[in-house]
Structure 1
């Protein structure tokens, strides 16, 4: 069956003519003048492949993502090796502008076949936050070697609406891991109320994660760029880096799922452990909009949870926080089915739940909670927490003997030690992050 193809660019005549003369595997169904026209044609279901013969500098990860969502692969023609490398980074197959029509048709057929396999139901890599985000076309050039995924692990810290202590726990997790000698990158991916910078006392106006997403969208984010953007935070026991969150809630459109996926891929390359402070909302945005290609408000949260190796579900141990966590964990399991969260009760105190609070909470959870059991209890220590927040510091600095600090360290460091990696990579990543 012939594959319908649309083309774009002023230099398309030779390409179009060559493909049409083949009378075989591909058929040119429309010649577009610009990328916006090409996008409209593809979203109407007119084509399965797009050949960008000119103007490939306008291709971004988000645009390629939107095309992938409707089952369209992209082949760009360029003679610039640097541009070809950039295009590979955002999921675009490239070929020389003088490629033979038969060879180009073969590449189109191969790319369509690979994308088709990724669209099969049940594909574990398919995204939930954005229907297009995991469907970037696989480069169709056999000799091109894809970058191997980084060895770093990703921890996502999530919790339901309210103030269960997500950010405070995530920040102190990052500090404890750095104190253990790990190279750590802390990312604020909360699209509603980013506050990592405030908790750490950083005077940040630049929104590091938004910067990284912009570069990733353009295919320009590499390890060196990540290290330039991420702000270093030094403690007496170790140093970690931070990608700060958006400075205003209305900037959430800058955190696209496709770009964030690329940011997390790069983060794995430069850090032993990536800690993500996520937002609370798990609502599927497509239910709120008739335009399924519109930006997703909750894409950053859902994509972080999808790509995380470990997810901590943090709840407040009080009569309001416990029911919220019960409902929240059930919603989490529906929104991201493959996640098995580590349930953590925070701010545990007898005054909120009665005598023997841990036993009371565990009994209540076993009666009313979801299948996931409570894994840890973090004791309430208001003086220590207040002191840390007031000074913009971590518990390991302001209250090193705090029981809360010890509980967080035990929670995260024991888990990461079980997933330890080679000392060769760890030392290399540590030097890059601290350098």
Structure 2
């Protein structure tokens, strides 16, 4: 036990007594995370503002009398042009130089005015480019908004009592239509991104330190002297893993705390995130803390295991990258999960931790699912520790 404490203390001192290491491991990733999300938020708001302030360029073919004035009344800044060459207009829409083409059939007003039961209903056609933001916005505003209002105006000229045609309305006067748990809604937003960031920041942070703990000492030649010391090799293994686990655990707490604290500022401008309210109760905090400790234990064991079989830090980094990509992919997949996961899914290592992080934040996780995830993670970490200890006993593996 004394050997474990000695090795663990040595590795922790190497990190926590180095100001540069503290900054790079605990502070810099948070600054990067907050900076990236804030930048994304600002860019998103600027893009939305740019689309909103854009003056739509709309071409109209066979426009009936009064339609251009009607369109101008809705959007005074809209630029309305007459179609002279249909092919060139389509090319401009395809190239992003025009936003929308509205095609009225010839004799449109006569067909509307002289309509009799059984006559063909005139059709207005619109053309736009969905890959262009300006064009898509013009279509959404004019095709589904302005033209519907224009249709109702023409219909009112044909029918005296428009209210008689309105069988019902939907949410025309219903300010309380949204029914949701604000904390659960906030948890869904955070739960969608938390597994991804925990995976990136926690694993990446431990990866640099973990590869140096074993492969780095091999490369520097200090591992040989450590192995011939009176400390048991199993104690060396546990000491290094526990040290990396503590470092990873502290960093994960810092990262998650920063996400919870800065999420409203980072995500406030994104669609559907306005008014985000995120608070954690005592049960959620305890469950998160235990799970993060288990994740840190598993990731530390994974990193040290890979590092054991490398002779240099560079070699260890190349070995660990495929593992990192696998862990990253499993973390990302939970961002797009919509169906309720089946119970057996919580027995899949690494993937289950991402699902459980989501479930804790949305308060949808059961104790059976949580216990299964925690148990699988700890057991797998313990198995990896055993493999590492066996590798440390092998002179061939530990040869410099």
Q: TM-score range by the shorter chain?
A: under 0.3
Higher strand share: 1
Higher RCO by CA contacts (8 Å cutoff, separation 6 or greater): 2
Normalising by structure 2, report the TM-score: 0.25
Higher helix share: 2
Which of these two proteins has the greater Rg computed from alpha carbons? 2
Normalising by structure 1, report the TM-score: 0.24
